[in-house]
């Protein structure tokens, strides 16, 4: 039994033009102390998933069906107040745009202390202070910079500060949404390593959301590949990376540039991600898929289990 189990989750957005099916029938589990990577191109619904777990979808977003079980209890059935208590204390989040995730008018240390004091209001000031200091040490920001305002930090430091904040309450699950986008390769790598170190040290479960499969491959135990709102492939790192079954996963891995690896091959038929307003009933990848057949478009696909922990959403694989 995992710490977090998402079962058959579908999410839609109400827009000017109608209902947008952002996430369709997604299921996965995150085990204690393990990390899950969700990878996919922009607009595939990965951020929506992250927000849905914390029940922070924007106003026009609704969960159409499914369950989100955290520690066995369905988060969707909790009261707002109960949910508020779970946030950060149990599940915290590292946001995509760290640049903007910190409030510009408050000092960084205050923003971290605020998280602590909200959930543990009895904590004495001194303790809060020392805990914040410890967090800064952990993520490698000098203590002298604690009193700064966010705009005085560089991008990497902000990212670290956000990580520090996410760790403040030792949550059991951290959702990291594109934790390293917009950072330089070297900084990115350092932060990823740090993240993994902390996760392992504190035995925290993680969901890492990224468009870069390399990032996910670096950090995660399990990998889920999302395409147009559907979880097209899901399994442990080794099986997904070494034997990708879904054509999209293969395309993603094939497009990955390595030094010294074999040259990539990506078929180009000029097509793009499908319209999520009114998706075809079948596989959403069909018009970019090199092996697509007519039935792919028409009939809904069911996921196929190919290994102990490996599922694929493709009728050709079956």
Output 11 or 54, the one with its CB closest to another protein: 54
Judged by CB under 8 A, how many residues of this single chain contact another protein?
63
Output the smallest distance, CB 252 to another protein, in A. Answer: 6
Query: Distance of CA 80 to CAs 48, 56, 220, Å?
Result: 19, 11, 31
DSSP of 215-245, one letter per residue?
HHHHH-SEEEEEETTEEEEEEEHHHHHHS--
DSSP of 264-298, one letter per residue?
P-----S--PPPSSS--SS-TTGGG-TT--HHHHH
Output 79 or 258, the one with its CB closest to another protein: 258
CA gap 95, 99 in Å, rounded: 9
CA gap 53, 36 in Å, rounded: 14
Output the smallest distance, CB 91 to another protein, in A. Answer: 8
Output the smallest distance, CB 117 to another protein, in A. Answer: 10
Query: Is position 114 an interface residue for another protein (rule: CB under 8 A)?
Result: yes
| Euclidean distance between the first and the last CA atom of the chain, given in angstroms as a whole number | 27
Which of 229, 212, 6, 3 minimizes the C-alpha distance to 96? 212
CA gap 155, 180 in Å, rounded: 10
Query: Is position 19 an interface residue for another protein (rule: CB under 8 A)?
Result: no
Query: Is position 121 an interface residue for another protein (rule: CB under 8 A)?
Result: no
CA gap 126, 146 in Å, rounded: 15
Considering only the stretches 20-28, 48-56, 63-71, 123-131, report the one whose residues sit in contact with another protein under the rule CB under 8 A: 48-56
Q: List the one residue from 3, 20, 102, 132 that touches another protein (CB under 8 A).
A: 102
Q: List the one residue from 5, 9, 52, 54 that touches another protein (CB under 8 A).
A: 54
- Contacts with another protein by CB under 8 A lie at 16, 41-42, 51, 54, 56, 84-89, 92-93, 95-97, 100-106, 114-115, 118-119, 149, 151, 162, 165, 184-186, 188-189, 211-215, 217-218, 237-238, 241, 251-252, 254-260, 263-264, 266, 268, 270, 272-273
């Amino acid at each position: 039994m995992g710490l977090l189990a998402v079962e058959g989750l579908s999410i839609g957005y109400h827009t000017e033009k109608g209902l947008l099916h952002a996430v369709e029938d997604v299921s996965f589990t995150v085990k204690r102390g393990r990390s899950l990577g969700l990878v996919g191109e922009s607009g595939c619904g990965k951020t929506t998933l992250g927000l849905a777990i914390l029940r922070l979808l924007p106003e026009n977003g609704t969960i159409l069906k499914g369950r989100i079980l955290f520690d066995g209890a369905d988060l969707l059935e909790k009261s707002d107040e109960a949910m508020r208590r779970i946030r950060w204390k149990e599940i915290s989040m590292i946001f995509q745009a760290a640049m903007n995730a910190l409030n510009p008018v408050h000092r960084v240390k205050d923003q971290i202390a605020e998280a602590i004091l909200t959930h543990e209001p009895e904590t004495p000031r001194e303790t809060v202070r020392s805990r914040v200091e410890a967090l800064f040490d952990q993520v490698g920001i000098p203590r002298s910079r604690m009193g700064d305002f966010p705009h005085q930090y560089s991008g990497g430091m902000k990212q670290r500060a956000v990580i520090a904040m996410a760790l403040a309450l030792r949550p059991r699950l951290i959702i990291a949404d594109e934790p390293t986008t917009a950072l330089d390769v070297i900084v990115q790598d350092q932060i990823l390593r740090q993240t993994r170190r902390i996760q392992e040290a504190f035995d925290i479960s993680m969901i890492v959301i990224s468009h870069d499969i390399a990032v996910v491959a670096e950090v995660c135990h399990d990998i889920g590949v999302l395409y147009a709102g559907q979880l097209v492939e899901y399994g442990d790192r080794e099986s997904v990376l070494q034997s990708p079954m879904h054509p999209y996963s293969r395309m993603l891995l094939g497009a990955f540039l390595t030094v010294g690896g074999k040259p990539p091959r990506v078929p180009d038929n000029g097509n793009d991600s499908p319209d999520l307003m009114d998706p075809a009933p079948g596989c959403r990848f069909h018009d970019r898929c090199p092996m697509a057949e007519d039935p792919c478009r028409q009939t809904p696909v069911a996921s196929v289990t190919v290994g102990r922990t490996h599922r694929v959403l493709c009728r050709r694989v079956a």
